[in-house]
Chain A
Amino acid sequence: MSYTLPELMVTAAAREIVDGEVVFVGMRLPLLGFLLAKSTHAPKALGIYELGIIRESLAPEAI
């Protein structure tokens, strides 16, 4: 199975997140890592975003 380097980084980051953890989520690739974790093995993870938002649930739409 082939994958790009960004996909590898996003997946590696997602695997670091344990379900239920409170996570500081950076912008862009780190954000995708968090979303991947939340959508798969860590649905209860809580995200704190640097612009001052704490989210339990994902945004309804992507940009």
Chain B
Amino acid sequence: MTGNMVSLCILLIGVRLSVAAPESAPIAPDTMAVLLNDYARKVDSLSGVLSKWPIRQAPPDSACVSGADLCEEDRGKVKRLLSDGRELGRYLEARGGGSFLSEKAYSDTLLPRVKDFRDRKLELPPGVILNPVVQAFEAFYEKYISNPVLNRRFMDLTAASRILMERKYLAGDEGNFLEGNLNGHIRFTRTDPDPTRPNFGVSPWEFLFRFEPIYLARDPDPENLGVLLDLGLLAHFFPKVGRDAVVKEGFWSECVRRTGLKAGGGLYGSDLRWVAGGGVQISALSGWWLYDMKRREPVFAMGISNLALFKKMLPFLGKP
């Protein structure tokens, strides 16, 4: 490396994300126990109604389509629906109501049951879905199970996931459409829609493919300004996000935020000289080890991925 080192200004970017007001605090276990008991009685009562529901006899050699009266086969499906719904209630009762279920229990045991239940619901024919027993069950399921327990848990996880996605993608630096498209397709970098996955489904990895302004570490001279086309991989350090989207920053998430390795090539100066090499990024700043092809010598350079910040630094780099 030659020339004077540009003194680097390490920018500590501390973003305190707002704490979401807990408008939807988890329901206390004893309240939930009362609700689930109510749910159980109502579903059991529906089972009684179902057992007396008129049965439509199918004509010989033809399928029966349930109408106001249910075919035997469809009554079996509704019976199964009530039984599955009842089972979900029992599962939650046995675990103190479900609002304070551990993350592991929620994702490994409750959620698979909910998904199976969902898929079986959607197998019901439309006519059966409109049957009053099914409609009444749906209302109970929403009131006692999905709204107070499942919705709230999913909304918490969704909020946490959204916060981390903003931290990863919308923190101030500028990418481009191609980079955004690739990050959403590459398995390693894309977000998993399931927020029960690690980091609420948000991958800490980000692929970079973008232009970056650089300043070569030589004499302060606007001729040392240039631009590189980068290819790289960043690792983001995420804060911890708890229930109700409460964010807890650590040193790495608050001060470092992200780091990664890059390779790039580009031009500098008014006579467009080529440089190429590798670099390391920490937060919004990069240190580059480049080879100046005209001067045939290595050179250190500083890059910055936040263009708004770069524009503010231009007067210090000799550019108006």
Are A and B subunits of one complex? no
